[in-house]
Each structure stands twice: as C-alpha cells, then as structure tokens.
Amino acid sequence: MREEPAARAPKALAGGPTTRPLGAVGRDTLAALLEVRDLHVTFRPDVRAVRGVSLSLDAGQTLGVAGESGSGKSTVALSLLRLLPSSAQVSGEILVAGEDVLRMNWGRLRAVRWADASIVFQGAMSALNPVRTIGEQIREPILLHDKVGTRAARERTAALLDAVGVPARRAGAYPHELSGGQRQRVMIAMALACRPNLIVADEPTTALDVIVQAQILQLVTDLVHEAKISMIMISHDLSVLADTCDALAVMYAGRIVEIGDSRAIMAEPRHPYTRALSSAFPAIGDPASRLAPSGLTGDPPDPRRIGPGCPFQPRCAEAFDDCRTRDVELWPAGSGHAACLLVLPDRARSASPTRGNLAQSGEAAS
C-alpha cells in the first residue's frame, strides 16, 4: 500500500524546526496516525540522544528505522509512549491520533499505552516477567484496558497465541520454559492483545538465529497487514527493514539522515551513511554486493560533544571542507529526503571541495 508522495515543492529548509513533518509516508493528510514533530531528547547531564526528529505515519503504513547503536532509534521508540526515565528532557510534539503524548495527563497516557500503541521489546527473555506465566502476562493488558472478565480474557489469549503460532496450551508456561523464538512470538501476541493501531517493534529479531528470524519477520508482516496496523520497526539490519517496511528512515547521531520509500532508498541510497550500511549487509543472491567493499571505520560521535557541521563527516568517504561547517538538514533527494550536502543542487555548494567532483567545482566557479 505504498503511494508516491504527493508533489511538494522541494523546500530547502534552512535552520529551525520544520513546520511540516518531513518523511510523511502515504498521502499528505492531516489525519495521520502518528506525527512526531521536532523531537529532542537529552539525558542528564548533556547527552543529546535525539536532536530534532520529525516523521509521520498513516494508518496501515510501515516504517523502518535503521541505525547503529547509539543513533537514538530506541530512544525515539520509547518516547512515543513517554517511557523514558523521568530524568530525560523531552521536547517537541508526539501526536498519536491527534493527541500529544508528551502533554497528556497520566490517566490518559495510561489508557493510550498498549491500547492505541504497543511495543515489542527486544530481548524477550528479560522483557518478560520471569515469575509469571505467559498467559497471565498476555491477559494483564486485556483485563486492564478492555472491560472483560477473566474467561473472555483467557479466550482471547488463546486466540492470540494461536495467531502467532504458539500452542494455546502453553499459556501456563513460564518464559524460561520456552525457546527464544517462542518467547518473541509471545511478545508479539502480547503487543496485539488490545488491538492497537500502532506497533513499535524494537529489534524484534536480534539474538535469534537466521531461520527463526525469517519466521518472525514473516509473522509480523502478515499480522500487521491483516489487521491494517501501522508499524515502526527498528533494526540495525537495513536489509531486514527493506524487505518488511514500506518506508525507511536512517538515523545517525540522533537525527534522521535519510528517509523515503524503502525500495527507492535501497536501490539508490543518497546519503553516504546509508550507502555504507546497505553494503554492510549484502543482499543474498546479488553477486555484485558481495564484491563491493563494505564496512565503516571509526565510531559514532560522542553524544555529549556533537559539533557544528555534518556529524557523519569524520567517517565519510565523500566528505569535503563544507561538511565540517555547514549544518545539514533533510533536503529532497530523489523520491525521499537526505541530510547531505551532496544532494544539494550544485549552485548551493560553495568553496572548493578537497575531494569529490572536480567538474562540479568547475561549474561552481563559473
């Protein structure tokens, strides 16, 4: 259900927060299911984990968020339901079905949690309570949010377990009695319990072996499409996201550096970081990708000390002088957006590059 984004004037938005959410997936409509506007998250004392993230999601759309650890992707996910520790400073707006999560009162927030949006956490072994049966844990949100009795809750639990491929009779089992793949299925069943409109899957397949990984991904994709649930999937594995999600957002150092239709991005990544990421996970069956050099040197920047200019510049193979001083934003690139000076029309670049296209610098001079 992917649509070409409606024609928009490619505004080069210089500085300041965006008034229109970028990375809108689907039709340009005011009734987006999820809208994040200029989200900033700072952990004490001065760790800026998320530095201005904006996106929006329609009903039934799937968005993949990719990035290394420390890019801020999990922080964004947790902030959607205001699950960050109270010491975190959060600013911006997060609109779930029009209501700002960050400004709701507690009662409303607790009602929204799980019923409107739920999360499939990574590491199911520690995300499940070890001393309660999985049946109890799935029933818990049902009894809390839906006004039903225990018997109805048990029936629904059995149906959910069935839908994810876990035998219903295992409802009395404890988490440690199940295999890793089964635990992950239980997490998915739990997330679906209250029929949310949005599911956030945070690294749902990390720590699973490849075959189970494929099964889980297929399960998630099928369930989400059947029930027309929107999904945000977070992973460091770009190829996984490309297969399962309509749209893709790549995060680096707390910002989105590229966003757009997933297939378009995989076919032609515009940001050097995306290029590096996609070559790190060769597409199976594509001989060319196996031969292409991959691997990024260096580490992501320290979130306490992010200076001016493009944060990716120190590790970028295509960086030039301007990259160190000019602030980057999400500019239109192809069918999506990318935060890289390279995507700007030649006229917008100034000064001679130390590396890069000599022909372009020749044009700039003339």
Q: Is 264 left (phi over 0), alpha (psi -120 to 50) or beta?
A: alpha
Of the candidates 37, 48, 51, 145, which one interacts with another protein according to CB under 8 A? Answer: 145
User: What's the min distance (Å) between Cβ of 156 and another protein?
Assistant: 15
Site for another protein in 65-84 (CB under 8 A): 78, 81, 83
Distances (CA, A) of 105 to 101, 102, 277: 9, 9, 40
Q: Which helix (H) or strand (E) holds 336?
A: strand 336-338
Judged by CB under 8 A, the stretch of 90-98, 130-138, 250-258, 276-284 that binds another protein is: 130-138
Of 121 and 252, the one with the shorter C-beta distance to another protein is: 121
User: What's the min distance (Å) between Cβ of 356 and another protein?
Assistant: 44
- Output the furthest CA–CA distance in the chain (Å, rounded): 78
Judged by CB under 8 A, the stretch of 11-19, 109-117, 273-281, 330-338 that binds another protein is: 109-117
Q: How far apart are CA 366 and CA 363, in angstroms?
A: 5
131 binds another protein (CB under 8 A): yes
CA-CA-CA-CA torsion sign (266, 267, 273, 278): positive
Site string for another protein, 148-177 (x = CB under 8 A): --------------------------x-x-
User: What's the min distance (Å) between Cβ of 75 and another protein?
Assistant: 13
User: What's the min distance (Å) between Cβ of 203 and another protein?
Assistant: 12
- Name the residue among 207, 313, 298, 231 with its Cα closest to residue 65: 231
Of 145 and 349, the one with the shorter C-beta distance to another protein is: 145
Q: Tokens in use for 301?
A: 């920047």
Of 164 and 264, the one with the shorter C-beta distance to another protein is: 164
Judged by CB under 8 A, the stretch of 48-56, 90-98, 103-111, 154-162 that binds another protein is: 103-111
Q: How far apart are the first and last CA of the chain?
A: 46
Of 42 and 137, the one with the shorter C-beta distance to another protein is: 137
Let me know: does 112 contact 92? Beta carbons within 8 Å.
Answer: no
Let me know: does 257 contact 312? Beta carbons within 8 Å.
Answer: yes
Q: Tokens in use for 234?
A: 């977070």
Of 129 and 354, the one with the shorter C-beta distance to another protein is: 129
Q: How far apart are CA 201 and CA 181, in angstroms?
A: 15
Q: Which residues bind another protein (CB under 8 A)?
A: 78, 81, 83, 109-115, 118-119, 121, 123, 126-132, 140-141, 144-145, 174, 176
